[in-house]
Amino acid sequence: DQQVKQNSPSLSVQEGRISILNCDYTNSMFDYFLWYKKYPAEGPTFLISISSIKDKNEDGRFTVFLNKSAKHLSLHIVPSQPGDSAVYFCAASAIGGAQKLVFGQGTRLTINP
Amino acid sequence: GAGVSQSPSNKVTEKGKDVELRCDPISGHTALYWYRQSLGQGLEFLIYFQGNSAPDKSGLPSDRFSAERTGGSVSTLTIQRTQQEDSAVYLCASSLAPRGVPNSPLHFGNGTRLTVT
């Protein structure tokens, strides 16, 4: 039972354009959502998060949008840079974040010069 | 050290042998997690330690898998009688998770790549 789904295994975007990564979830108890970025041979690193009481959180070039009714969140990166090329994982947790994180399968983002 | 440290970074073992994977979390972090990533897959939750509470073992795939966390710090993940399907990158993460302040981001180590031949 895949509770967090990233349906696009890969995405290719031109440098300077906007990258939009999508994530869907099924568990209505999830109330905290995070995005992690992973380079090869390294562990994932935290990028940005959002609580279910918000619908948008912005940090520099990164913005996460949450649509609770659709159980959907997205990560926008603008402008995209070559260093953004990595695998991006969406994750969710329940009960105020006190429970374990459930991760999606990841989306490999490639930024083309 | 400044980050989560895992050892070994790579481990090749024969089918049927036991392996131990080690994780040194960030000092002061009370929460510790083990995940694994099989080839082409997402991160699969294995086990979660939080302070002195009983660990959440709900993600362990079989009774061949076990984990300990000694003294609230170092953790060891043990896989007995390894099988080829156990081949994966095993990731450890820790978080501050102070009482009453949830949602602390996880800090991951670089993982142990386990290959069972």
Task: Calculate ∠ Cα B106-B109-B113, nearest 5°.
Answer: 130
**pLDDT tens sequence across B9-38:** 999 999 999 999 999 999 988 889 999 999
Sign of the C-alpha dihedral, residues A100, A101, A103, A108?
negative
**pLDDT tens sequence across A48-100:** 999 999 999 999 999 999 999 999 999 999 999 999 999 999 999 886 555 67
Confidence of residue A107 (pLDDT cuts 50, 70, 90): very high
- B59 CB within 8 Å of a chain A CB: yes
Is B33 in Cβ contact with A101 (below 8 Å)? yes
CA B51 from centre of chain: 16
Q: Is the pLDDT of residue A23 over 50?
A: yes
Is A101 in Cβ contact with B104 (below 8 Å)? no
Sign of the C-alpha dihedral, residues A20, A26, A104, A97?
positive
- By the 10 Å C-beta count (0-12 exposed, 13-18 middle, 19+ buried), B44 is classed as middle
Report chain A residues whose CB lies below 8 A from the CB of B97: 98
Q: Name the interface residues of A facing B (CB cutoff 8 Å).
A: 4, 6, 32, 34, 36, 41-46, 49, 51, 89, 91, 93, 95-106
Report chain B residues whose CB lies below 8 A from the CB of A42: 110
Tell me the count of A-B CB pairs closer than 8 A.
Answer: 59
Q: Is the pLDDT of residue A42 over 80?
A: yes
How close is the nearest chain B Cα to the Cα of A96, in Å? 6
Which residues in chain B show pLDDT less than 70? Answer: 1, 98-103
Report chain B residues whose CB lies below 8 A from the CB of A34: 105
- The C-alpha atoms of residue B23 and residue B112 are separated, in whole angstroms, by 9
Do the beta carbons of residue A36 and residue A102 sit within 8 Å?
A: no
Helices (H) and strands (E) in chain B, counts: 0, 10
Do the beta carbons of residue B6 and residue B59 sit within 8 Å?
A: no
Looking at residue B100, its pLDDT comes to: 47
Token pair 């007995």 in the structure block, residue: B80
User: Which amino acid is residue B15, in one-letter code?
Assistant: K
B106 → closest Cβ in A42, A101, A105: A101
